[in-house]
Each structure stands twice: as C-alpha cells, then as structure tokens.
Structure 1
C-alpha cells in the first residue's frame, strides 16, 4: 500500500509534515487551495478513517502511525479553535520515506 507525506500550512503560516498510509488524502485536498479550518479537519478525519479502513482490509489492523498523526493534527488545529474559518492548506504531497 503506498504511503505518503503531505505538508500542511496552518493559519499562522507555520508548516508541518504529516503522514498517511494511503494516497486517499489526495482525493480530499488540492494543493495550494485554502480550506476553512473546520472543513479541513472534517476532511482530514474522513480521509484518515478511509486510509485506516484500507490498511485494516489489507493487513488486519489499522495504522497506529495514522492515528498518531491525526492526534497531532487535532492538537495543532486546537490552537486555532476560535477561528473556524481560518485558512489551512496542503502545500504539497510527496512520497513517504
């Protein structure tokens, strides 16, 4: 199963590199498009759930790294919770290490 990294730019212009065990993230986001924080998080949650379903179907268990990544993304997003329309974007997609 192809895994990937993607770079997130947060509303304060900081960036973080995130991991997905599946390319499904690309079905939910276009690079260099701003998404309101609330929509971005809804999409990330859904994409992560689908990625984990794919991993479970293939290997019989979910990807703990994907869960950890979602937890990290949730923590970062919490810093902007009072700004649900704050822009978040995927800057780039890339291969996993």
Structure 2
C-alpha cells in the first residue's frame, strides 16, 4: 500500500505537502484541480478516512498519521473560512 503525498496551494498562498498512507487518495484529488475550501476539506476527510481504513484492513490498526493530516487540514481551513470565495489548488498527487 504505497503512501502518497499531495501538494496543495491554500487560498493564502501557502503550499503544503500533505500525507496519505495509501494511493487511494488519488481517487479524490488530481493535479491541476481547483476546489472550494469546503469541497477540499470534505474530500480530504473522505479520502484520508478511506486511506486509514485500508491500512486498518491490511495491518489491523488505523493510520494515526492520516488522521493527524486531516486534523491539520481542518485547523488550517477553520482559520481561513472567514474569507470569501476561497479555493484550494491541487498542485500534485504522487
């Protein structure tokens, strides 16, 4: 189950390399994609929970690193949500 990184550009211009324990995250994001902040957070939650579940199915325990990444994404989004028309750009998945 190869881990993947997906690089995003947040609405404030910050670029972040995000971690997924499974390549399943590629089903949720693609390079060049632009998403609303809410959509990005929702897809991150779905994709990282899916990835963690795959780890659990294989190794018998959930992936805490995936849940830590989701928490970082949610905290960052919460700080930005007061602004209007926010979009997150997916730079790369791989």
Bin the TM-score by the shorter chain. Answer: over 0.9
| Equivalent residue, structure 2, for 1:72 | 72
Tell me the secondary structure at the aligned position of residue 24 of structure 1: helix
Classify the secondary structure of the residue corresponding to 1:79.
helix
Number of positions where the alignment pairs a residue of Structure 1 with one of Structure 2: 94
Q: Which runs of 5+ in 1 are unaligned?
A: none
Greater share of helix: 2
RMSD across aligned C-alpha pairs, in angstroms?
A: 1.2
Give the secondary structure class of the aligned counterpart of 2:70. Answer: helix
TM-score normalised by the chain length of structure 2 = 0.92
Mapped to 2, the partners of 1:76 and 1:48 lie a distance apart of 16
- Provide the rounded CA distance (Å) in 1 between the counterparts of 2:55 and 2:11: 31
Moved over 6 A (4+): none
**Deviations, residues 32-90 of structure 1 (Å, cap 9, x unaligned):** 12100001111000001111110000000001111111111111111211246411021
TM-score normalised by L of structure 1 = 0.89
